[in-house]
Amino acid sequence: MTMADETMQNEEVAVTPEATADCVKCTEYLSGWKRAMADYQNREKDVAKEKQEIAAYTTMSLLNEFFPVLDNLQQAMTHVPEEQRALGWVQGIGFINKQFSDILGRYGLQSFSALGKPFDPTRHEAVGDTEGTPGIVVREVASGYQMGDRVVRPAKVIVGK
């Protein structure tokens, strides 16, 4: 420790009313700055969340436009006679169907099966009923899709009565 440091430690600092007022202002300014910084950080989080919600909504809207096309492809494949399934053009349509499903899967969209399961109005849309076990899905007219745990489109089903 140098002699100047010792002198500074031993000196008493006179606190004037002006110094006290300046200290109070500094504390107020610091508190205001901290609040402004916290508000800014909260706003940044809100903006990031809003961007994610907009992206998810846009993705969902786009995916909903593709469901009729995918349904038609799947229906077309079910109507191909067994003796024609080995033909090149039929296999090509099958590959297109698989490629389409794979692309949707990359966006987190997965189909789910309803056949043989109890009717669940949160996951299924009944489009008819027929003879069968009451309350059990007898036939799936169109696949249901979900993204994570959220149902994007309920499966269109025929329920036993």
Question: What is the reported pLDDT for 113?
Answer: 87
> CA 58 → CA 51, 63, 64, 123, distances in Å?
11, 9, 10, 22
Helices (H) and strands (E) in the chain, counts: 3, 6
Q: Identify any residues that bridge with 140 across adjacent strands, giving them in sequence order.
A: 157
Are the C-beta atoms of 108 and 130 separated by less than 8 Å? Answer: no
pLDDT at 11: 61
CB atoms within 10 A of CB 141: 15
Nearest CA-CA partner of 74 in 89, 93, 87: 93
Question: Alpha-carbon distance 154 to 65, whole Å?
Answer: 15
| Position 49 confidence tier, pLDDT thresholds 50, 70, 90 | very high
Q: What is the DSSP string of 46-78?
A: HHHHHHHHHHHHHHHHHHHHHHHHHHHHHHHHH
* pTM greater than 0.85: no
Q: How confident is the model at residue 121 (pLDDT cuts 50, 70, 90)?
A: very high
The residue extents of the domains of the chain are: 109-161
H/E stretch holding 42 reads: helix 17-78
The top-level CATH class assigned to 109-161 is: mainly beta
